């Protein structure tokens, strides 16, 4: 899964490998800062620059600089975790909840024949028209919108938890 999503602060770029067991491996670029993200067995791991930790994490400069080269771990749930933000099941659930789907066209995307369907909320999902009907591109205009491209289905290896990650709960500002 890769693409951009509109956020309150501008846009966020994502580039992830998603797995059916909920694991994730990839990166987010937000506010010009690259953040490496891995989710393994319900634990989030992030590796980011000191500038990111200062701005987004509201950490003092000395603490941000000391953890910048390290992976930080924290529970996937709650307000601090990514939760289901990057899972296929919630995407599928949101598509099922959208009503009024209609076919809006056919085209080739990255060499694959695709059919476009549009929901009543304006979301357009392009689905492979031959073989397994995997989603190829999902796009929505306006607030909270963006374009996400899916590819490489069933071609990645499950990620491993980063070694020597620092638990977020142990950080003190």
- The pTM is what? 0.74
Q: pLDDT tens digits, residue range 74-93?
A: 888 766 667 666 666 666 67
Q: Are residues 160 and 82 in the same domain?
A: yes
Phi, psi at 91, each rounded to 5°: -60, -45
Helices (H), 16-69: 50-55, 61-67
Domain that residue 131 falls in: 88-149
Query: How far, in Å, CA of 70 to CA of 137, rounded?
Result: 34
Does 92 lie in the same domain as 41?
Answer: no
pLDDT tens per residue across span 67-79: 998 999 988 876 6
Question: Both 73 and 120 in a single domain?
Answer: no
Residue 53 · residue 68 · CB < 8 Å: yes
């Amino acid at each position: 899964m890769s693409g951009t999503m509109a956020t309150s602060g501008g846009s966020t770029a994502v580039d992830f490998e998603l797995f059916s067991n909920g694991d994730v491996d990839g990166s987010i670029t937000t506010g010009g800062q690259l953040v490496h993200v891995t989710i393994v067995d319900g634990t989030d791991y992030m590796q980011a620059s000191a500038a990111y930790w200062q701005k987004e994490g509201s950490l003092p400069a000395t603490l941000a600089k000391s953890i910048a080269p390290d992976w930080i771990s924290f529970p996937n749930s709650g307000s601090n975790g990514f939760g289901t933000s990057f899972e296929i099941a919630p995407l599928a659930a949101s598509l099922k909840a959208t009503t009024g789907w209609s076919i809006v066209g056919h085209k080739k995307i990255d060499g694959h024949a695709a059919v476009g369907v549009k929901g009543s909320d304006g979301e357009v999902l392009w689905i492979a028209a031959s073989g397994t009907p995997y989603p190829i591109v999902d796009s929505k205009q306006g607030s909270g919108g963006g374009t996400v491209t899916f590819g490489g289905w069933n071609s990645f290896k499950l990620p491993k938890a980063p070694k020597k990650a620092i638990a977020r709960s142990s950080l003190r500002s």
